[in-house]
Amino acid sequence: MLYNLLAPYAGETIIFNLFRYLTFRSGGAVVTALFISFVLGAPIIRWLKRKQREGQPIRSDGPESHLITKKGTPTMGGVLILLAVTLSTLLWADLRNGFVWVVLFVTVGFGAIGFADDYLKLTRRNSKGLPGRRKLIGQFAISFLAAFVIMRLTPAPLSDILAIPFIKTPLHLDWFYLPVAAVVMVGASNAVNLTDGLDGLAIGPIMLAAGCFALIAYLAGNSVFATYLQINYIPGSGELAVLCGALVGAGMGFLWFNAPPAMVFMGDTGSLASGGALGAISVIAKNELVLAIVGGLFVLETVSVIVQVGSFKLTGRRVFRMAPLHHHFEKKGWAEPTIVIRFWIIAAILALAGLASLKLR
């Protein structure tokens, strides 16, 4: 909004010229989202505590310590993330950019599905909320619509391509790109959701991935940098750096309240929304598979669940003491902060590897 209001006067007033720069507006989005989180965080947590009373229902089959240490902690803290990201993006982004609206649509849409899931868990007082099939139907409906709009907004030669890391020539998928893009968004959303199991565990990698894709979107939206790095130039995608900045700022603000011992959990409201946003941004920037590297920790957590379920159904044996992977290490006796920090380190290494893949083509 500030860009649309003030950038036209850049020639008359020097300070307004700053609003023409993506780097300045991205930084502004970070600070604004962080400020919103600090201002609204405590009131929202108090409101959630009053409404929820007993807090988030804890899995009875989870680590025994959770039944004691996490009892009474409210969930749905993702509302704070959604508010901070949405308000900050609307303030600092170019609102004429269609890509911005598509990502906000996915973020808010997935957040609404997560909110419904959290609400049912609370009202039914068990850890099973919205049925998995209904949740997936809603996610895929939003993702297919978003993917269709993204294809219409992207220049024709690039609208259906899938870029492969370390390989210069992309794959042209024609209309098959629609289900591929939808799977990326839904997969990213649910992978983040599976990772969100310990205080601060998911939000750290979310911020790392958002920071990486702020840079990737900026590079993909700049013809000079895109040509130099030999990545696909997507006009208008650079504006998503502002939204990524808002997600980083919102993540920092949320972590203030989610750091061990957590005052609030993000719940599906936050995890589904954040993962969906990252998936949509990767689709627009034509770096879907790079997201699998940058967000490699989310992939590891998801694979651990798939392996655990598959092994038990086929052989009757479990590979891990418990899935997702972070619970396996809890069962082995690792302290929760130790798991969180070590997983953050792994996420940082994978994020750097994902960025390196941009040049290694």
The tens digit of pLDDT for each residue in 244-302 reads 999 999 999 999 999 988 999 999 999 999 999 999 999 999 999 999 999 999 999 99
Question: What is the overall mean pLDDT for the chain?
Answer: 91
Compare 2 and 92 and report the one with higher pLDDT: 92
CA separation for the pair 279, 208 (Å, rounded): 14
Q: Reply yes or no on whether the pLDDT at 64 is more than 60.
A: no
Q: How confident is the model at residue 57 (pLDDT cuts 50, 70, 90)?
A: low
Element (H, E) at 214: helix 203-220
Average pLDDT over residues 63-75: 69
User: In this structure, is residue 59 part of a structural domain?
Assistant: no
Q: What is the pLDDT of residue 307?
A: 95
Average pLDDT over residues 124-137: 82
Instruction: Name the region of 190 (left: φ>0; alpha: ψ -120 to 50; beta: rest).
Output: alpha
Average pLDDT over residues 197-223: 96
Q: Which residues pair with 110 in a beta bridge?
A: none
Q: Write the pLDDT tens digit of every residue in 341-350.
A: 999 999 999 9
User: In this structure, is residue 80 part of a structural domain?
Assistant: no
Compare 64 and 335 and report the one with higher pLDDT: 335
Expressed as residue numbers, the domain containing 121 is: 97-238+255-356
Count the neighbouring beta carbons within 10 Å of the beta carbon of residue 99: 28
Average pLDDT over residues 142-153: 97
Domain count, the chain: 1
Average pLDDT over residues 311-320: 91
Element (H, E) at 66: helix 66-69
User: In this structure, is residue 103 part of a structural domain?
Assistant: yes
Looking at 55-69, 229-243, 291-305, which range is the least confident one? 55-69
Average pLDDT over residues 88-112: 97
Q: Write the pLDDT tens digit of every residue in 25-46.
A: 999 999 999 999 999 999 999 9
Q: What is the pLDDT of residue 226?
A: 93
Contact 248, 210 (CB under 8 A): yes
Percent share of the chain, pLDDT over 70: 94
How many H-runs (helices) and E-runs (strands) does the chain carry? 15, 2
Q: What is the pLDDT of residue 127?
A: 64
User: In this structure, is residue 350 part of a structural domain?
Assistant: yes
Coil vs helix vs strand at 63: coil
Q: What is the pLDDT of residue 343?
A: 97
User: In this structure, is residue 288 part of a structural domain?
Assistant: yes
Cβ neighbours for 68, distance < 8 A, ≥ 6 positions apart: none
User: In this structure, is residue 23 part of a structural domain?
Assistant: no
User: In this structure, is residue 17 part of a structural domain?
Assistant: no
User: In this structure, is residue 205 part of a structural domain?
Assistant: yes
The pair phi, psi for residue 171, each rounded to 5°, is -95, 135
Q: Reply yes or no on whether the pLDDT at 210 is more than 80.
A: yes
Q: What is the pLDDT of residue 345?
A: 97
Contact 347, 208 (CB under 8 A): yes
